[in-house]
Structure 1
Amino acid sequence: MAKHRIYTTSVASVYPHYVAKAEKKGRTKAEVDEIIGWLTGYSRQALQARLDAGTDFETFFAEAPAMNPARSAITGTVCGVRVEAVEEPVMREIRYLDKLIDELAKGKAMEKILRAG
């Protein structure tokens, strides 16, 4: 099976789009970083190191310190695709992240985005 092109895309090339989407709706870069940290276990410093290194999505998720087991509670659609129905593991992680950023941009409270309580 051929890998999706996005797997070899650097997280750093997409990250500014996540931040811009959030900031356009009055949210912050810190909130984007918090979401990424919740999902992957990366600290802000470790995230920045991955961005600086040009780490691709496949490696970013494969080497994440602690993928959050609660991420399976992320449901809904991104680009018309149900995230919980995505079978390919790396693409599902990418879609989870996309969905969390969408929720942030739509004004959802952080505790809801982070599936707390």
Structure 2
Amino acid sequence: MAGHRIFTTSFSSVYPHYVAKAERKSRSKEEVDEIIRWLTGYSQKQLEAILENGTDFQTFFDLAPALNPLREAIKGTICGVRIEAIEDPTMREIRYLDKLVDELAKGRPMSKILRS
């Protein structure tokens, strides 16, 4: 999937959709932020800076301070594709995030979403 357009899409343009999806199901922006911080290792301040400066998805994941090793326990399908079968590492990271936000919107407890 090299060169997929999502790689050059700014993270800040998709972030409001993650938040809206969560809020439609009575979850919060803070919970979305917690998921992003858990997955990537960014602090809240770093996340806010990324949202302000228009960082694209490729750079967002390339510069992530500490990708959580427990993210590899995220299994299942997203958009009809098994996450474990995605070969491109950046696309797999994007799909991990999508899956976590889906789990949040489905009402799953944070402890289970964060694989604790």
TM-score by length of 1: 0.97
- 2:105 corresponding residue in structure 1: 105
- 1:13 corresponding residue in structure 2: 13
Distance in 2 between residues matched to 1:28 and 1:34, nearest whole Å: 10
Q: Report whether the alignment pairs 1:45 with 2:45.
A: yes
Deviation at 1:102, TM superposition (A): 0.1
- Contact map agreement 2:2 2:88 (CA 8 A) in 1: no
The one-letter code matched in structure 2 to 1:15 is Y
When the two chains are superposed, the root-mean-square deviation of aligned CA atoms in Å is: 0.8
- Contact map agreement 2:83 2:96 (CA 8 A) in 1: yes
Q: How many residues are matched?
A: 116
Distance in 1 between residues matched to 2:28 and 2:77, nearest whole Å: 23
- 1:70 corresponding residue in structure 2: 70
Unaligned ranges ≥5, structure 2: none
The one-letter code matched in structure 1 to 2:24 is K
Share of identical aligned residues, percent? 72
Q: Report whether the alignment pairs 1:81 with 2:81.
A: yes
Distance in 2 between residues matched to 1:105 and 1:2, nearest whole Å: 29
Unaligned ranges ≥5, structure 1: none
Residues 14-65 of structure 1: CA deviation (Å, up to 9, x unaligned): 0000000000000000000000000000111100100101000000000001
**Would you identify which runs of 4 or more consecutive aligned residues in structure 1 move more than 3 Å?**
none
